[in-house]
A and B are shown apart, each in its own frame.
Chain A
Amino acid sequence: MTDYELIEDILAGDQQAVRLLHERYVDRVFHYIYNQTSSHHDTEELLQDVFFKAACQLERFEGKSSFKTWLFKIARNAVIDFYRKQNKARRTVSTESAALETLGGRDESAEHTALRKLHMENVVDSIDQLPDQYRTVLHLRFIEDFSLKETAEIMGKSVLAIKAMQRRARTALSESISMEVTSYEEK
């Protein structure tokens, strides 16, 4: 069942459709907000805020973009409003490097594995150190698989601005990786 069909059913009063549509996106939106705030408490609060706002405006959703894009736009605005009101500095989330260990191939040498792990950890460090906007771009592009256009729509920027951010993030990662590999190989 598509999102549009679920929305039609929801507006017709189908409670099961409410659960289905919510379940389809709740983890993704949660992860997105958590990635922006690094606070479970804030994320819980914002998550409720996002779904409340989405529900209030659901009737006005016209399907010009996908429901997912529309929902993430609400989420992004909610996060921005939250920080504006709270006057809080945004924090970054550190990725568990343990999650990287499985990325190495089984047949590679111990040295290669170590090098690969070093690469991955470095990539994660680099992601964490990127400005918020870059991390948001990476999240939307690579976690949520939004296209450049959709990412631009969610973030309220031009496609080229998104490209520029992605490029800067990639350049930072490349430089960081190559520096790390060089220093590792010199040891």
Chain B
Amino acid sequence: MRKNNHEEDMLRSLTKKQTKQVKAPEKTKEASLQAFTRGLGENHNAREKEKRRTRWKHGIFGGLATVVAAGVGAILILHTTLTDGQTDFQSTEYNQDNHDNDIVEDAAVITDEPWNSESLTPDDLPQLGKDDRVLRHILNHEMINYNVHQFEYFNIRNDHYSVRLPRNWSVREDYDDGVYRSEFKGSGTDKMTFTFLPEDRFDEVDVEVQQILNNWDYTAGSTINIGEVKSFVSSLPGKEYISNSNQFDINEVELYAFVNEENGRLYELFIFDFFGQPIILTAESQIEEKNDDRLSWVALSEMSITKNRPVYGSEGELHPEIMRPESKDTILAHFTGQYEVVEMSLMEFPEWHLSSYLPSNTEVEEIQGEHFNFYRFSDPEISENSYYVFGKLDDSFDLDNAREIFHSSFGIDLDFKENLGGSDPYIFSYAGSTGSSHEEFIDGYFRIVERFGEYYFTHKHADRVDYNSGEFTKRLDFFMDNLEKH
């Protein structure tokens, strides 16, 4: 069981026990019920009074309606000014009817009074609610000019993540006290910044957000439903070519937008957790520059991971002797931009004083060979006939005849030779026929490696019928990267 789950279960057990103990006495319940009933009565009376007032309040409502209409008119005038000469701005009308129900009841939020930016704190954000003034600026825009071929991947945060943005954008990276910042600059004054906080410093998110809020000069703010982002991104042309099937849970992203209606500046703030890594994404743009509109939404939705790493906080209890976590969820990155989250378990090789990590459902077979001993790893759910191997060479192993020994021991046809290992003399690749009979196709490689002063080898074997599409390569790479002597 993972450490965090263990503690949560323990807390849950404890607190549930408390729940059974602390119950309201009957007299207290009765008094509470009376208060509840009394409140309903008050509510009923208030409704009746309201009905009686309705008649003479018509006049007041009429006056209010005029004020509201004047307000909308003011917005439309400003809107027209900002978008002068850009008629397509109106092409996708924001349908206010669809959003009326989402507008929060708190009238103070929807006030026309300019905000005092300095007074807004991170704690205020969840109560922002939806503000039509902001939503109109964002949702009324037509789609960005999204052309897959004009976008490229930018690796950021020391090459741990990648995001897709237009080729003409540039990035500058900064690192200070554990915090990575990747500042993108686009055309005009558009910019976007990713701030990566260390995984154990969630409590600093509010400090960062406060600084951001202090630096922005806005007159209105609103929450944005993350469903809007998903809907928008999935409608982009060519989106079907971009794989995000293993996307992090975008539903957990907090998204807020702010506008300065005087200078047409749009600010966006995204706060989220990428598998245990707190990340803040901010974007600034001019409302009238539609071509780069909502690029931040694209960047967010196509953000990917480029290096294997653990899911922070998923580490299980420490092995008492080896002092490594017994388990940990790991994100395995794939060169296509896809990634998968795999639960890894600690695997110990006591005879070699080594340990590393394998997916928890790996089938392990220990085999004694003539010139080496090895462990064969497989997972029938991925592939029935493919496997990967880690072994140790004996002193009797003849390095000069390595290929022949391996081929003979593993039953590989010696005709299957193909040097795919480049200049490395200790990689012995083989490939079967690529002709008409795919059933005969097999491929794989052996690699001799020196670790901790001794010789080991790895081997990956795959066949066409049951091809594993590279999953085993990722697993073997992760295994070797995490190999430790103890």
Contact = CB atoms under 8 A, between A and B. Distances in A.
B205 A160 contact: yes
B14 interface: yes
Interface stretch (B120-128, B285-293, B435-443): B120-128
B32 A48 contact: yes
A60 B105 contact: yes
Nearest to B42: A56
B43 A56 contact: yes
Contact of A31 (B4, B19, B33): B19
A55 to B, nearest CB: 3
Interface string B82-93: 000000000000
A58 B7 CA distance: 37
B13 A103 contact: yes
Contact of A51 (B17, B36, B123): B36
Contact of A142 (B15, B31, B43, B254): B15
A53 to B, nearest CB: 7
Interface in A141-187: 142-143, 152-153, 156-161, 163-165, 167-168, 170, 173-174
Interface in B284-302: none
Given A95-B14, A103-B13, A143-B15, A26 B29 contact: yes
Contacts of B35: 47-49, 51-52, 55
A14 to B, nearest CB: 11
B57 interface: no
A167 B421 CA distance: 46
Interface string A110-138: 00000000011001100100000000001
A90 interface: no
B122 A161 contact: yes
Contacts of A26: 24, 29, 32-33
A22 B123 contact: no
Contacts of A119: 10
A82 interface: no
A120 B18 CA distance: 13
Nearest to B4: A170
Given A52-B38, A100-B14, A156 B205 contact: no
B37 A55 contact: yes
Contacts of B125: 158
A174 B126 CA distance: 30
A102 to B, nearest CB: 8
B1 interface: no
A139 interface: yes
Given A142-B8, A160-B273, A51 B126 contact: no
A44 B34 CA distance: 12
B126 A153 contact: yes
B43 A59 contact: yes
B40 interface: yes
A30 interface: yes
Contacts of A91: none
A173 B8 CA distance: 11
- Greatest chain A CB density within 10 A among B17, B21, B206, B272 is at B17
B347 interface: no
B24 A47 contact: yes
Given A10-B40, A159-B252, A51 B33 contact: yes
B136 to A, nearest CB: 22
A30 B23 contact: yes
B47 interface: yes
A113 B164 CA distance: 55
A160 B202 contact: yes
B359 to A, nearest CB: 26
Contact of B47 (A19, A48, A55, A59): A59
Nearest to A53: B39
Interface in A32-86: 34-35, 43-44, 47-49, 51-60
A19 B272 CA distance: 41
A27 interface: yes
B40 A31 contact: no
Interface in B168-210: 200, 202-203, 205-206
B471 to A, nearest CB: 31
A99 interface: yes
B11 interface: yes
Contacts of B37: 15, 18, 55
A96 interface: yes
Given A157-B126, A164-B205, A30 B22 contact: yes
Contacts of A139: 15
A156 B39 contact: no
B12 interface: yes
B11 A142 contact: yes
Given A26-B24, A99-B17, A103-B13, A58 B40 contact: yes
Contacts of A142: 8, 11-12, 14-16
A51 B38 CA distance: 9
B271 interface: yes
B278 interface: yes
15 contacts: A22-B32, A31-B23, A35-B18, A44-B31, A47-B31, A52-B36, A99-B14, A99-B21, A124-B14, A142-B15, A160-B205, A160-B271, A165-B203, A167-B200, A167-B203
Given A95-B17, A160-B254, 4 more contacts: A10-B40, A26-B33, A99-B21, A159-B254
Interface of B: 3-4, 7-8, 10-19, 21-24, 28-29, 31-40, 42-43, 46-47, 105, 122-123, 125-127, 200, 202-203, 205-206, 252, 254, 271-273, 278, 313
Interface of A: 10, 15, 18-19, 22-23, 26-28, 30-31, 34-35, 43-44, 47-49, 51-60, 95-96, 99-100, 102-103, 119-120, 123-124, 127, 138-139, 142-143, 152-153, 156-161, 163-165, 167-168, 170, 173-174
* Nearest 5 Cβ contacts at the A-B interface: A55-B39, A164-B202, A30-B24, A48-B35, A51-B36
